[in-house]
């Protein structure tokens, strides 16, 4: 075991050091050979030989800090926004809270890392399996993983307990997909299963350097002088788990932080909200104000200082700060004194307060909102970051994917075209919607009584069912169609080998629907091995005959977003070699032979017809291969598969050789129904001033029809279409000159953009012109995003209410999002559900992931996750708008209270010869922000509510105030600054002027500390009362926090001024509050000064509400006398899933409650639960406090009756 103790985790001295070396890595299993340049060599079962290379260990760490970096790095993190270094006490409190939070979160990460690193795995040592911790695993080790276990590193799959060298894995931890994936070991290694056999394994693996691409792997296994190509099919990634397989044996390829999952463990790009960036400007403005105040004081001190003021004792031996003979030095030193004195103008605790408010908003309000809970999938909303809450209240552009976002991603085989004949009788939702728009009434199509109803199959046409296809004009084409569906796929069957009990594990819902369709047509795919597919075929030779046919799968040319097609080369039992291919119509049509003339035309018409009905289409084709042709091609294919460089590119090139001269069979049409509530959600968001763009990879006809179905486009809109599917472009494309095609399309797009822009301007200048909708396809978009044309595209797009981009790639989705984000400087939101939406989600200001059927990659890259598109209404119009309103109030109020407090000190400076004398005691200044005014503003940030949830959705136009940034304009900041200025003058001059003739009970005049304590009391009382004037709804928490803050000041001053220490504070505030409170002046000033200070605010707020109201204030007045029902009846009925205590709470939440006093709207406060429950017939067990409440109610009732 000595080798284990000497594992080193530093970088390899060989790997990656020479830029000229190929980007590959050698894993040597067995024998020792000299190191090859640029390769990394690892020896199996020889740890001593491995030590010099120093591979990464398998221990991982996800913590942010360690013992040495916690303080420096933690402090740096806290100072990353514009935090000034000011008074020690508030700064220390703020930093302490933040660092404790960071330390706690990092400690949890550390515990998680420890449990992972110490998990046990079987490793081959001395010809037997020994269990050791994951962290002691090394590259080159032979490991054994049991069923349901997780793979401890990235492993080369050598052998498994299944006889055909196959294992099943679940990749949910990597991409969220729960469908099982198949992995197949190379046939040469199937025998290395027992410890005795495995210890004989001698092999060399040459492979790529560690990288973060989950779905690719390039390498070769050299064994017994044979070079065998390795692909992702032989690699078992760390984080995946083994399913339906007793155990597997494999060789470790990448460990620890070099595994693909760890190299993917990067944080989502850090995003800061627009309001936060504007807040930084406000803080900089405050710094400017601070500098100006200090400069005024410094210059004035240099001018004022003079020996004629003999009573100041400014003799020759006076300290430099007050030496009249060096006025410049006096001004400079006074400058530094005043910076400390006025530093309270900078709200250092603002960032922490906002962070706390946002965190609670996310975890308690957004995550626990039942209106965004999806009962079917048991999925609540999830705020993955709390940085962007208020950004949700200012979104102007939404970029949405179509499949799985607007639609359900529950695919059903609906229609098909075989040999130029359409089959299937149903009518889609989109056809119904289109007919309604045109005023046509469609007759209801009734399903035949013996139609098959199954998940993924909604097809009804007796001509193809139960063998009836044999009587069709072209039964051979029908047979090829069904076989293509049954053979050309990567689906795994599970369960019993009977049509009723089998379940299919498919990579996509489309695949599952097509295989299910083949089953129902009589071609039942029931078993798969790595090299064969078993299909139970019915009615092929004669009606009623069922036979099991085995097809040998020779090659699979896999689907990817570039190829847009999938092909399988198979051998029939009779030796016939066939290539079956299915893919997008544009791709298949390019590869058809010359024999398809009339059929091509007919099928294209059917494709357009299906597209118009909103159906997803795929074309099917085949090609018969001769043995010579196949053998010659297969050599090239194996060579490409073995290539270490550009393997994907070479495989695509080889595929092009054989995927040509195809014979068209027909096409399939799959229906993907709209999600529930999408049309009404889009209509509501449009009323809120939000413009919605749909970015999809589907055909233009499908995209337009889906857009109609979900209210994105309507008949009143003028459609501006920029398409590459024009006769002129087709004509140029047929010539095949790529340069000419590119030039022609660019010129065509440019002309279309100019024409549409002019047309748009004409409509915009008319009073009642129609709204505009732009439709553009991916090919045209590629040229429109050119730097010379993108400005024109942006201007045209911004003038349109809706934009539909079809046939777009994932990169184009991100480019379009960035175009609006950066070009128009508008706040954008992207929403999608698949891996192809990740770049778009990360490009927008706010990214929303839909936790759907395409895995969790979109959710993992997002800022917020929801289960259904319709939940956007609640997320934006309710939580987003409230968050924006609340954060704006918090920021402006912080600005006001700090400026007011600092200006009173500033006015005092004018009466002290600009000497830097403090007006307030040090502790007053330190605790002002931290204790005496901290809690009420947090309560406002959490609970302020201008209108209820139901009214927010009833009047979506209220959202436009957020888009216009109405509550955080510089004008709003200016008004707050004006009233700060006014109130500070009132505090200072009213208190100083009135106290000049005031006396204490001993007949003495008040001194500095009496007056400053009086002024500070007025400031604390006034700024807390001003907060109540700011609120739209006032709850008991508002009263408790405001009263508690004022009370905290009095408790503090009573204790503070009652304590005398030997080294006291310039004999300042000892006994001051007791002296003050013994005078009538104190109570009179405490009553009149806040009234005088708040009078201006009161008058302004009254005039503003009466004559210049915000939209929400109008709604408040409309519903002023109506209790807020906040749509309790709409809450989901989830009682069956709750514990008894939760069920009781839920039942009580449905009951009427007391209403609190408020300035605009009712806000719930707890009522008499058991009492109301009994009135409503709800069983709620009595609690002790219920009994006390009811007793108090009864006594109140009796006294009322006696009166």
Q: Which residues are catalytic?
A: 401
Which letter does DSSP use for residue 457 in this model? B
Cβ-in-10-Å burial (0-12, 13-18, 19+) of 119 comes to middle
Q: Give the DSSP letter string of 618-676.
A: EEEEEEEE-HHHHHHHHHHHHHHHH-SSSHHHHHHHHHHHHS-SBEEEEEEEEEEEEPT
Cβ-in-10-Å burial (0-12, 13-18, 19+) of 242 comes to buried
Beta carbons of 839 and 811 less than 8 angstroms apart: yes
Reduced to 3 states, what is the DSSP secondary structure of residue 66?
Answer: coil
Beta carbons of 895 and 933 less than 8 angstroms apart: no
Query: Dihedral, CA atoms, 65, 69, 71, 74, nearest 10 degrees?
Result: -50
Q: Give the DSSP letter string of 378-409.
A: TB--EES-STTTGGGGS--EEEE-STTTTEEE
Beta carbons of 250 and 145 less than 8 angstroms apart: yes
Bridge partners of residue 569, in order along the sequence: 555, 579
Distance CA 138, CA 479 (A): 53
Bridge partners of residue 223, in order along the sequence: 226
Q: Cα 1053 to chain center, whole Å?
A: 48
Q: Say how many Å lie between the first and final Cα of the chain, rounded.
A: 92
- How many CB atoms are located within 10 Å of the residue 573 CB? 9
Beta carbons of 992 and 1081 less than 8 angstroms apart: no
Nearest to 378 by CA among 1138, 1161, 1159, 1185: 1138
Cβ-in-10-Å burial (0-12, 13-18, 19+) of 332 comes to middle
Query: Dihedral, CA atoms, 1046, 1047, 1052, 1055, nearest 10 degrees?
Result: 150
Q: What's the token pair of residue 324? A: 């009249």
Distance CA 862, CA 841 (A): 6
Sheet hosting strand 864-866, strand order edge to edge: 382-383, 864-866, 846-850, 828-832, 397-400, 691-695, 802-806, 772-777, 718-722
Backbone φ and ψ for 125, nearest 5 degrees, come out as -130, 125
Which distant-in-sequence residues (6+ apart) come within 8 Å of 971 by Cβ? none
Cα dihedral sign for 1133, 1135, 1137, 1138?
Answer: positive
Query: Dihedral, CA atoms, 446, 451, 454, 458, nearest 10 degrees?
Result: -50
Distance CA 169, CA 236 (A): 8
Beta carbons of 805 and 693 less than 8 angstroms apart: yes
Distance CA 846, CA 841 (A): 7
Beta carbons of 911 and 918 less than 8 angstroms apart: no
For 932-968, give one letter per residue: b (16+ CB within 10 A) or e.
bbbbbbbbbbbbbbbbbbbbbbebbebbebbbebbbb
Q: What number of CA atoms fall less than 13 Å from residue 763's CA on the CB side?
A: 20
Cβ-in-10-Å burial (0-12, 13-18, 19+) of 250 comes to buried
């Amino acid at each position: 075991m000595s080798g284990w103790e000497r594992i080193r985790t530093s970088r390899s001295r060989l790997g990656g050091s020479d830029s000229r070396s190929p980007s590959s890595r050698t894993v040597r299993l067995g024998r020792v050979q000299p190191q090859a340049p640029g390769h990394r060599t690892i020896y199996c079962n020889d740890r001593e030989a491995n030590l010099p290379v120093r591979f990464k260990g398998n221990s991982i760490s996800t913590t942010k800090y360690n013992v040495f970096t916690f303080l420096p790095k933690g402090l740096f993190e806290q100072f990353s926004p514009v935090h000034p270094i000011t008074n020690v006490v508030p700064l220390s409190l703020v930093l302490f809270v933040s660092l404790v939070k960071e330390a706690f979160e990092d400690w949890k990460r550390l515990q998680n890392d420890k449990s992972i690193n110490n998990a046990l795995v079987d490793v081959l040592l001395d010809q037997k399996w020994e269990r050791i911790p994951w962290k002691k695993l090394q590259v080159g080790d032979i490991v054994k993983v049991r069923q349901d276990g997780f793979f401890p590193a990235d492993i080369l799959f050598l052998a498994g307990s299944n006889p055909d060298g196959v294992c099943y894995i679940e990749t949910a931890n990597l991409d969220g997909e729960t469908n099982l994936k198949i992995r197949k070991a190379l046939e040469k290694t199937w025998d290395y299963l027992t410890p005795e056999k495995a210890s004989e394994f001698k092999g060399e693996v040459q492979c790529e350097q560690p990288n973060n691409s989950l779905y690719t792997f390039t390498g070769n296994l050299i064994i017994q002088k044979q070079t065998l190509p390795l692909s992702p099919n032989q690699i078992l990634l760390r984080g995946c788990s083994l399913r339906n397989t007793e155990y597997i044996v494999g060789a470790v390829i990448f460990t620890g932080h070099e595994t693909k999952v760890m190299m993917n463990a990067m944080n989502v790009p850090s995003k800061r909200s627009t309001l936060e960036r504007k807040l930084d400007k406000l803080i900089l403005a405050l710094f400017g104000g601070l500098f100006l105040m200090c400069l005024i004081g410094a210059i004035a001190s240099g001018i004022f200082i003079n020996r004629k003021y003999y009573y100041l004792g400014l003799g020759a031996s006076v300290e430099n700060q007050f030496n009249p003979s060096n006025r410049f030095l006096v001004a400079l030193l006074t400058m530094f004194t005043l910076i400390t004195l006025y530093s309270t103008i900078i709200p250092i605790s603002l960032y922490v307060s906002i962070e706390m408010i946002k965190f609670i908003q996310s975890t308690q309000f957004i995550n626990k909102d039942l209106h965004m809970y999806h009962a079917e999938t048991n999925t609540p909303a999830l705020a993955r970051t709390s940085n962007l809450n208020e950004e949700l209240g200012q979104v102007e552009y939404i970029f949405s994917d179509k499949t799985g976002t607007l639609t359900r991603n529950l695919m059903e085989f609906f229609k098909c075209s075989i040999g130029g004949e359409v089959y299937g009788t149903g009518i889609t939702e989109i056809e119904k919607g289109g007919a309604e728009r045109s005023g046509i009434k469609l007759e209801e199509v009734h399903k035949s009584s013996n139609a098959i109803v199954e998940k993924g199959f909604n097809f009804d046409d007796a001509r193809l069912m139960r063998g009836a296809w044999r009587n069709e004009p072209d039964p051979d084409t029908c047979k090829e169609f069904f076989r293509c569906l049954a053979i050309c796929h990567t689906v795994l069957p599970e369960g019993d080998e009977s049509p009723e009990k089998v379940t299919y594990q498919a990579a996509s819902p489309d695949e599952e629907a097509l295989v299910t369709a083949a089953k129902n047509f009589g071609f039942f795919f029931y078993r798969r091995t790595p090299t064969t597919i078993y299909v139970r075929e019915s009615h092929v030779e004669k009606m009623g005959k069922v036979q099991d046919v085995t097809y040998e799968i020779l090659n699979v040319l896999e689907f990817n977003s570039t190829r847009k097609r999938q092909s399988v080369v198979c051998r029939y039992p009779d030796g016939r070699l066939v290539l079956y291919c299915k893919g997008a119509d544009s791709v298949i049509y390019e590869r058809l032979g010359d024999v398809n003339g009339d059929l091509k035309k007919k099928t294209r018409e059917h494709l357009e017809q299906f597209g118009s009905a909103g159906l997803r289409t795929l074309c099917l084709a085949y090609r018969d291969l001769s043995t010579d042709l196949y053998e010659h091609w297969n050599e090239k294919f194996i060579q490409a598969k073995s290539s270490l460089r550009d393997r994907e590119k070479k495989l695509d090139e080889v595929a092009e050789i054989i995927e040509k001269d195809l014979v068209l069979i027909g096409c399939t049409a799959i229906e993907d129904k709209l999600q529930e509530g999408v049309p009404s959600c889009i209509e509501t968001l449009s009323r809120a001033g939000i413009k919605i763009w749909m970015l999809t990879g589907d055909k233009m006809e499908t995209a337009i029809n889906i857009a109609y179905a979900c209210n994105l486009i309507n008949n009143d809109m003028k459609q501006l279409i920029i398409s590459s599917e024009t006769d002129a472009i087709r004509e140029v494309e047929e010539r095949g000159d790529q340069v000419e095609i590119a030039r022609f399309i660019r010129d065509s797009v440019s002309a279309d953009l100019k024409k549409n822009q002019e047309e748009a301007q004409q409509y915009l200048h008319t009073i009642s012109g129609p709204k505009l909708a732009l439709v553009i396809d991916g090919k045209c978009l590629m040229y429109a995003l050119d730097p010379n044309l993108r400005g024109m595209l942006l201007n045209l797009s911004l003038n349109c209410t809706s934009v539909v981009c079809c046939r777009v790639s994932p990169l184009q989705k991100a480019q379009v999002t960035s175009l609006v984000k950066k070009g128009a400087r508008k706040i954008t939101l992207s929403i999608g559900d698949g891996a192809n939406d990740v770049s778009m989600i990360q490009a927008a200001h706010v990214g929303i992931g839909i936790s759907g059927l395409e895995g969790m990659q979109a959710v993992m890259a997002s800022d917020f996750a929801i289960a259904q598109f319709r939940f956007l209404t609640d997320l934006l119009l309710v939580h987003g708008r409230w968050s924006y309103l609340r954060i704006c109030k918090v920021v402006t109020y912080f600005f006001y209270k700090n400026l007011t407090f600092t200006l009173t000190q500033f006015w005092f400076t004018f009466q002290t010869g600009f000497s830097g004398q403090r007006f307030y005691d040090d502790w007053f200044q330190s605790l002002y922000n931290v204790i005496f005014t901290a809690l009420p503003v947090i309560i406002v940030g959490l609970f302020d509510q201008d209108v209820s949830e139901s009214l927010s959705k009833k009047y979506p136009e209220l959202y436009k105030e957020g888009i216009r940034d109405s509550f955080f304009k510089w004008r709003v900041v200016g008004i707050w600054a004006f009233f700060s200025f006014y109130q500070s003058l009132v505090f200072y001059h009213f208190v100083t002027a009135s106290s000049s003739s005031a006396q204490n009970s001993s007949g003495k005049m008040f001194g500095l500390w009496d007056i400053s304590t009086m002024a500070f009391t007025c400031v604390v009382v006034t700024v807390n009362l001003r907060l109540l004037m700011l609120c739209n709804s006032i709850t008991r928490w508002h009263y408790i926090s405001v009263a508690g803050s004022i009370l905290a000041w009095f408790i503090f001053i009573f204790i503070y001024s009652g304590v005398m220490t030997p080294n006291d504070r310039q004999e300042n505030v000892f006994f001051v509050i007791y002296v003050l409170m013994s005078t009538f002046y104190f109570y009179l000033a405490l009553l009149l000064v806040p009234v005088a200070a708040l009078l201006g605010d009161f008058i302004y707020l009254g005039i503003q509400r009466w004559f210049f109201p915000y939209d929400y204030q109008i709604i408040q007045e409309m519903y002023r006398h109506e209790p807020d029902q906040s749509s309790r009846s709409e809450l989901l009925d989830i009682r069956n899933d709750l514990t008894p205590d939760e069920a009781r709470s839920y039942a009580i939440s449905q009951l009427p409650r007391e209403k609190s006093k408020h300035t605009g709207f009712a806000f719930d406060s707890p009522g008499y639960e058991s009492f109301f429950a009994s009135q409503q017939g709800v069983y709620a067990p009595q609690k002790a406090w219920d009994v006390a409440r009811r007793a108090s109610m009864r006594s109140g009732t009796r006294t009322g009756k006696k009166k």
